[in-house]
Amino acid sequence: MTARLVFDVAAGLAILFAAVMVVHRHPVKSVLALVVSFFALSVAYVMLSAPLIAALQVIVYAGAILVLFLFVLMLLNVPEEVRQKSGRPIHHTLSALAIVVFAAVLLGALRAHGATNAAPSTSPLTGEVAPVARLLFSEHLLSFEALSILLLAALVGAFALARREGRT
């Protein structure tokens, strides 16, 4: 019961701050709102017996990725978005319509299939890190290594893309 309450509150906060992020015109404030949202999500993850992921969410997502966003925002000195009469009403109405329909469909679908009668897997969820680690380094070792190569590639790519021309 308590878990549910905590989860609901955390999820609600996440949604709230996500909405703030979407609406707010100032990009930095927008990023900060998302940070809070991610923190809330992290709490939700804990409630779902995934403490490792929660930790990673805070460390990697909120702490690294969004900080990177902030850096770039400040580097590019992105201004506040000016609210203006949009010259593309068609786009906006159509988007709104599509989003509403999509959301309705999605929620309806998720709701309908919410109850599952799948059998529990062999490794029951205990909220501990060790089983995750064990699985990661045995069955999914290849993917893990591939992931590290991906990160290397991303590193090199980002470096190559962003450097100034003519300089090594």
Residues numbered 119 to 158 that lie near other proteins (CB under 8 A) are 120-121, 123-125, 131-132, 135-136, 140, 143, 147, 150-151, 153-155, 157-158
In the bound complex, what is the minimum distance in angstroms from residue 69's beta carbon to other proteins?
Answer: 7
> Does position 118 bind other proteins by CB under 8 A?
yes
Q: Binding to other proteins (CB under 8 A): which residues in 68-87?
A: 68-69, 72-73, 75-76, 78, 81
How far is the C-alpha of 131 from the C-alpha of 134, rounded, in Å?
5
CB of 124 to other proteins, least distance (A): 5
Write down the least CB distance from residue 123 to other proteins, Å. 5
Spatial separation of the C-alpha atoms in residues 111 and 65, rounded to whole Å: 32
Write each residue from 22 to 61 as x if it is in contact with other proteins (CB under 8 A), else as -, in one continuous string. Answer: x----x--xx--x--xx--x--xx-xxxx-xx--xx--xx
Instruction: State the nearest-atom distance from the C-beta of 168 to other proteins, in Å.
Output: 17
Report how far residue 132's alpha carbon sits from residue 54's, in angstroms, rounded to the nearest whole number: 13
Q: Which of residues 92-111 bind other proteins (CB under 8 A)?
A: 92, 94-96, 98-99, 101-103, 105-107, 109-111
Buried-exposed string 127-142: b where 16+ CB fall within 10 A, e elsewhere:
eeeeeeeeeeeeeeee
CB of 63 to other proteins, least distance (A): 11
Binding residue count for other proteins, defined by CB under 8 A: 86
